[in-house]
Amino acid sequence: MLDGRRILLVISGGIAAYKSLEVIRRLRERGADVRCLLTHNATQFVTPLAVQTLSGNKVFQDTFSLTDEHEIGHITLARDCDLVVVAPATANLLAKMAHGLADDLASTALLVTDQPILVAPAMNFRMWEHPATRANLATLKGRGIHTVGPNAGPLAEGESGIGRMAEPGEIVAAIEGLLAKGPLAGIKALVTSGPTFEPIDPVRFIGNRSSGKQGHAIATALARLGADVTLITGPVRLADPSGVRTIHVETAREMLGAALGNLPADVAVCAAAVADWTVSNASKEKRKKYPGAPPPAIELAANPDILATLSEAGSARPRLVIGFAAETEKVLEHAKAKLARKGCDWIVANDVSPATGTFGGDFNSVHLISASGTEDWPRIAKADVAERLAWRIADFLKPGGAE
């Protein structure tokens, strides 16, 4: 049930807007307090009067309404709720959200809200499959926005394909799932992400091309399922995930220290691309280049093995330790060897050779390897990889759970 939960429903301009009326009815039946915001185009498909009658609340439409701004204000409207739902979410509105546009009340509210957002896409199948829409959706998922649908079936234009908005029952079920206590409630999770930078001198370092997108997405997905998440990240150009405690480090030794300092934990996901070596003769001053002089010798030493250390942490060892294997050749062979060598429970293996676009990209194709075998996952958005992995973790950690 949704007794007392406050939901802001944004209805945008698509033929599927008529389904939003049934969504409102079902939410009210479950005890939710539903406020509705209509775009200008939405009023071409459903009337404000019908929406107001079903919701029992005033309908909001105009950014510059002096009455609305006096009574509640668009910022309060966007924040005074437990969840923002966009149904239908047109390709246009998804594009506005992805690019941070705020040219009407709906896009302004979506930009200013600090609450979780669930979108139910609805559009022609060619619009859904367009690279721009796919990229926009990947961007939004990377920011932690939830989705439900779309489904396959007949479309308004007489065509058929993927693009139908999820049915009202599916949308309400997704809302209940997001607002309910998650399956990882009470679970403490530790996630490492990004690269590590090993200094050569105060201005130079040894590093790698990891963007941290996959590790940050995993931290977000675990938090969504109710886990208490600590994210330890190397230097990345990503915002700290919402609802996650984030610790910023630079070197492998700093990352290991932070990881050990946050034990015990129930699950550890080592998604960081930790540098294998550090510079043992790092200079405290910038190394200078002189005409005719040979380059300075750089001496390397092995970095601590964070994954192996967590796997051998004795009584403080997490119940589930997951490592990542970023390979450029013989992906499964090397990953299976790493699983045996490190002593962890699962390895998530992926091909990061330049042709795949995995490093820095929004998509990934992985293999989940454990003692019971190998699962080959299709190429999907990194946010979807994270969500699928989070649910696998939840299944494993639940009472009686197994691989």
Residue 274 binned pLDDT confidence (cut-offs 50, 70, 90): very high
Average pLDDT value over all residues in the chain: 88
199 annotated as ligand-binding: no
pLDDT at 66: 45
- Asked whether residue 1 is domain-assigned, the answer is no
212 and 139 in a common domain = no
168 and 306 in a common domain = no
Burial of 250 (0-12, 13-18, 19+ CB in 10 A): middle
pLDDT at 35: 94
Which of 74, 72, 77, 23 lies closest to 50, judged by CA?
A: 23
pLDDT at 182: 76
- Please tell me which residue in 41, 92, 151, 208 is annotated as part of the active site: 208
Q: Is 204 left (phi over 0), alpha (psi -120 to 50) or beta?
A: beta
Cβ atoms of 245 and 231 within 8 Å: the answer is: yes
The DSSP call for residue 224 is: H
pLDDT value at 38 more than 90 = yes
Q: Mean pLDDT throughout 164-193?
A: 87
pLDDT at 358: 66
pLDDT value at 42 more than 90 = yes
pLDDT value at 167 more than 60 = yes
CATH number assigned to the domain comprising residue 337: 3.40.50.10300
The Cα-based distances of 235 to 117, 292, 350 in angstroms read 27, 35, 21
Which of 175, 256, 229 lies closest to 1, judged by CA?
A: 175
326 and 251 in a common domain = yes
167 and 193 in a common domain = no
Note if 208 is an active site residue: yes
26 and 156 in a common domain = yes
205 and 136 in a common domain = no
User: What is the percentage of the chain residues whose pLDDT exceeds 70?
Assistant: 94
338 annotated as ligand-binding: yes
Of 29-33, 242-246, 299-303, the range with the lowest mean pLDDT is 242-246
Select the more confidently predicted residue: 147 or 303: 303
307 annotated as ligand-binding: yes
306 annotated as ligand-binding: yes
Domain limits at 21?
6-179
pLDDT digit string (tens) for 196-241?
A: 999 999 999 999 888 999 999 999 889 878 899 999 999 998 888 8
Phi and psi, residue 270, nearest 5° = -95, 85
150 annotated as ligand-binding: no
286 annotated as ligand-binding: yes
Final residue before a domain boundary, out of 179, 211, 232: 179
pLDDT digit string (tens) for 355-378?
A: 776 666 778 788 999 988 999 988
135 and 252 in a common domain = no
302 and 245 in a common domain = yes
pLDDT value at 160 more than 70 = yes
The Cα 75–Cα 161 span in angstroms is 37
CATH number assigned to the domain comprising residue 91: 3.40.50.1950
pLDDT at 225: 84
Final residue before a domain boundary, out of 130, 152, 179: 179
- Asked whether residue 356 is domain-assigned, the answer is yes
Cβ atoms of 193 and 219 within 8 Å: the answer is: yes
In the chain, how many domains are there?
A: 2
- Asked whether residue 14 is domain-assigned, the answer is yes
324 annotated as ligand-binding: yes
Select the more confidently predicted residue: 285 or 352: 285
338 and 216 in a common domain = yes
201 and 125 in a common domain = no
- Asked whether residue 195 is domain-assigned, the answer is yes
pLDDT value at 76 more than 90 = no
Q: Mean pLDDT throughout 28-32?
A: 92
pLDDT at 197: 96
Q: Which two tokens stand for residue 158?
A: 């007489």
131 and 23 in a common domain = yes
332 and 226 in a common domain = yes
The DSSP call for residue 199 is: E
Final residue before a domain boundary, out of 151, 179, 207: 179
Residue 387 binned pLDDT confidence (cut-offs 50, 70, 90): confident
330 annotated as ligand-binding: no
- Asked whether residue 403 is domain-assigned, the answer is no
Residue 271 binned pLDDT confidence (cut-offs 50, 70, 90): very high
Q: Is 292 left (phi over 0), alpha (psi -120 to 50) or beta?
A: left
Residue 64 binned pLDDT confidence (cut-offs 50, 70, 90): low
